[in-house]
Amino acid sequence: LILNSIFDMKIAILPGDGIGTEIVAQAVRVLEALGQKFEMETAPVGGAGYEAHGHPLPDGTLKLAKEADAILFGAVGDWKYDTLERSLRPEQAILGLRKHLTLFANFRPAILYPELVGASTLKPEVVSGLDILIVRELNGDIYFGQPRGMREAPDGPFKGAREGFDTMRYSEPEIRRIAHVAFKAAQKRGKRLTSVDKANVLETFQFWKDIVTDVHKEYPDVELDHMYVDNAAMQLVRAPKKFDVIVTGNMFGDILSDAAAMLTGSIGMLPSASLDANSKGLYEPSHGSAPDIAGKGIANPLATILSAAMMLRFSLNLPAEADRIEKAVKQVLAQGLRTPDIYEAGTTKVGTVDMGSAVVKALRSEEHT
Ligand code: NAD
């Protein structure tokens, strides 16, 4: 503890839009309550960046994100920006940060806290005790592949008709680096990795499968299996506890990680991390800016608080502090405190600030035990 506090670690705080500002404020309080010396600097991003500087990812915000040791991000977006040209829309800030900082590995844990088992739409016996990790590649795949666009179809039965097209591609280094990240994550957990592909239909994912199989030789202690994405979607709702770590490409990961999020009942509980090759990362809740509840003081801040815990573990090398936050969150849930999104009869309904205060209090009281 003493050693760590000698170094000032810099955290870029990017609250963004909608509930982003409300939930990040609570995560900042929790970080401050740890008694560590963090340098925290805030900058506008998303719609807030556009309002302040005419761009969703202003130069000053990008500079701060680059020089910081880690980034704590809220959420961006509001319907009112939907008519802006695509490059100026709030969501471009996330894509820009991922690209400029080469954040290629997205970690999405889906953990079901025993107290929230009733919040899931699945039967308790299917989901209770769920603890899986989805590792999604973030920088490649059909989301970024060129060429793409709209044109007149150059061939095929609809030659000459208008068409939209994208390109799915993955290079060997891209697959290798995400595979290494996923095998290492599996080593620290249950030592089982499922690589999800569509090798039966797509060349890109036959290649993916071959490379992951090759990387596996360096991790003999991890059990690897391969699963087609359609089967993986089915198994996630049928028997999700069978999984330990899942690794997959950008598009399949996008879809599967949202399905996994819903297994736990509330998107308001799920943190995420996007890491580069040196474990620098951007940490954010898995949900969006929730414009429907923004400003009402009822958003669940726990996903953001748990994202701050992931930040301490993966980027700032403070695993004990990460454990403390996670323990404090479990404690407030055990006390029966719930924001409206996870409320059930017999529990106590609280707002965003009170939930933050309860976590801070749990951290402080643990110091005296
Ligand atoms: P959303 O995640 O913002 O909201 C979906 C539903 O979940 C809403 O009913 C919302 O009230 C609820 N919800 C979300 N987070 C909550 C929380 N912490 N506590 C309680 N309830 C919560 O998704 P959406 O409505 O599809 O999108 C809203 C905006 O967010 C859009 O502009 C979208 O582009 C943007 N978005 C941003 C991100 C991001 O910043 N990473 C991710 C997804 C969506």
What's the mean pLDDT when you consider all of the chain?
A: 94
For ligand 1, atom 42, name the residue with the nearest CA. 288
CA angle 333, 337, 338 (to 5 degrees): 95
Of all residues in the chain, the percent with pLDDT exceeding 90 is: 83
Angle at 275 between CA 274 and CA 276, to 5 degrees: 140
Higher pLDDT, residue 294 or 119 = 294
Hey, what amino acid is at 190?
A: G
Which residue has the CA at smallest separation from atom 8 of ligand 1? 290
At 8 the pLDDT is: 77
77 lines ligand 1 (CB under 6 A): yes
Indicate whether residue 267 lines ligand 1 (CB < 6 A): yes
Alpha carbons 208 and 279: distance in angstroms, whole number: 23
Distance CA 179, CA 282 (A): 20
pLDDT band at 265 (very low <50, low <70, confident <90, very high): confident
Give SS3 for 266: coil
Residue nearest to atom 4 of ligand 1 (CA): 290
Q: Residue 1 pLDDT > 70, yes or no?
A: no
Q: 151 C-alpha vs ligand 1 centroid, how far in Å?
A: 33
pLDDT higher than 60, residue 134:
yes
- CA dist 271 and 311 (Å) reads 10
CB contact at 8 A, 261 and 267: yes
Q: Which residues are the active-site residues?
A: 143, 198, 230, 254, 258
pTM of the model: 0.89
Q: What is the pLDDT of residues 89-129, one digit of tens each?
A: 999 999 899 989 999 999 999 999 888 888 888 999 999 99
Q: Determine the distance separating the centroid of ligand 1 and the alpha carbon of 222, expressed in angstroms.
A: 35
pLDDT band at 205 (very low <50, low <70, confident <90, very high): very high
Alpha-carbon span 130 to 132, nearest angstrom = 6
Q: Which of these, 135, 225, 242, lies nearest to 185 by C-alpha position? A: 135
Let me know: does 119 contact 89? Beta carbons within 8 Å.
Answer: no
The rounded distance, in Å, linking the Cα atoms of 344 and 342 is 7
> Is residue 264 scored above 70 in pLDDT?
yes
Show the tokens assigned to 289.
Answer: 């800016």
**147 upstream amide cis, omega within 30 of 0:** yes
Question: Residue 349's pLDDT band (boundaries 50, 70, 90)?
Answer: very high
Q: Select from 144, 226, 140, 234 the least CA-distant residue to 178.
A: 140
In DSSP notation, 322-338 reads HHHHHHHHHHHHHTTEE
